[in-house]
Every structure is written in C-alpha cells, then in structure tokens.
Structure 1
C-alpha cells in the first residue's frame, strides 16, 4: 500500500526539481490540475494510470522510488545514458564543429559539456 503523505512529498520533490507548478506538472503528464491538488493534499491516493504517466513523462523518476521512497531521485543512470537517436559524441563533434587550431597550448580544449534545461548533460572530448 502506498503511503499517501510520503507519496505527496515525493510528488512535490519532482515538481520542485523541474520547477513546475501544480498546473504545469498536471499539463506535463496530461491530467487535470485538480488531480494534482487532491494528491498533494492527501485527499486522494494515486491511481496506477497517474503513476505510469509520471514515470513515462519524467525518465529521471524511478517507479520504485515514486511508490515506496526506495532508490534515488533523480535517477542518474537515465540522465547519463544516450538515447538511440543520439549520435555518438565523436560523430556529433565531427559533424558540427570545425577543427580547432591553437597557437598556444593553454588554448587547447580539454572537454566540452552541454547542459540541458532538464538537468541532464553530455560531455564530449574533441579528438
């Protein structure tokens, strides 16, 4: 059985992590705003449909953590894993970046990190 009070705290933690209001969170997962309000207040228990929508909408949320509080949030493995549609770092650098030339060793680039709004990032090392 899901502890409603603890679940609402984890739900609030997700909303804070993504800087979402109740309305923004409801829109992101495709539910009514009142559903979020009722869950946060402890009036309602989460439905299976609601839990699935959260987990599918936010890949950093682990199902077991959301339901039981066990595990971690955000799920760092999902943040760092590349998707199938993502080109490899070497392919992306070669296709989008001109060769880097430098007169001084101090100007050489060691690595490039791209940060995304969702908190994930990609790290590249030029050849």
Structure 2
C-alpha cells in the first residue's frame, strides 16, 4: 500500500528535479490543481490515472520508486527497455500446455511463477489476465 506522506516527498522531488510548480504540474498532466495539492499534503493517495499520466509525461520516473521508494530517480532512460529486450515471447501456444505462453529464453520465468498479467493503457485503463 502506498504511504501518502512518502509519496508526497517523492512528488516534491519530482517537482524540484523538473523545476515545476504544483500549478504547472497540474496543467501539464491535465488534472485539477487541488489533486496536486492534496497529494503534496499527504491528504490523498494517488489514483491510477494520476500515476499513469505522471509516468507517461516523465520517463525518468520509475514506477517502483514513485510508489514505494525502491529503485532510482531519475531512472536511466533505457532501463526498462534493457530489462525486457532479452526476453522474447513466443505467442503460439504449445500443444501440451494449452493457451500458456512460453519464453524462448529458458530459466528467466517459468509458468508456475506467473500469477497475473496486467496491461496498462495510455488512457489509464487496464486489462488483467489471471491464471486459470
């Protein structure tokens, strides 16, 4: 769960890094100014929509750092790409596994480790696929 006070501290760091005021951040993300005010004061927790807008406008912000303080800020620009470019997905189901998908590189992730896959869209919506 997100700690509102810690999230507010990280949001202040983002404002300082990009030299933005709360008002200019609200305008840039197209959110109400009160939304930023409530987040900065620790009164409210961030919505998924807010987090997605922030991440899409500021690629140096790492999701895990933003939400729980782990990771780095600013993140390296190609960090997310590097972590996934070694993983190649074979999107054709195997006969013995039904509709389960397998990675071509062995040993990275096994089917038994995958519980849920969530895809986030730019409009803030998402689609979750649970393990049957």
Range class of TM-score, shorter chain: 0.5 to 0.7
Distance 1:78 1:28, change over 3 A: farther
The yes-or-no answer on 1:42 pairing with 2:23 is no
Aligned partners of 2:55 and 2:63 also within 8 Å = yes
Q: Deviations over 1:35-76 (max 9, x none)?
A: 000111111111111111110110000111100100000012
TM-score (norm 1): 0.60
* Structure with more of its chain in helix, by fraction: 1
Aligned partners of 2:59 and 2:77 also within 8 Å = no
5+ unaligned residues in a row in structure 2: which ranges?
82-132
In structure 1, the residue matched to 2:68 is 68
* Structure with more of its chain in strand, by fraction: 2
Q: How many residues align?
A: 80
TM-score (norm 2): 0.57
For 2:78 and 2:37, locate their aligned partners in 1 and report how far apart those are by CA, in whole Å: 28
RMSD: 1.6
Residue 77 of structure 2 aligns to a residue whose secondary structure is helix
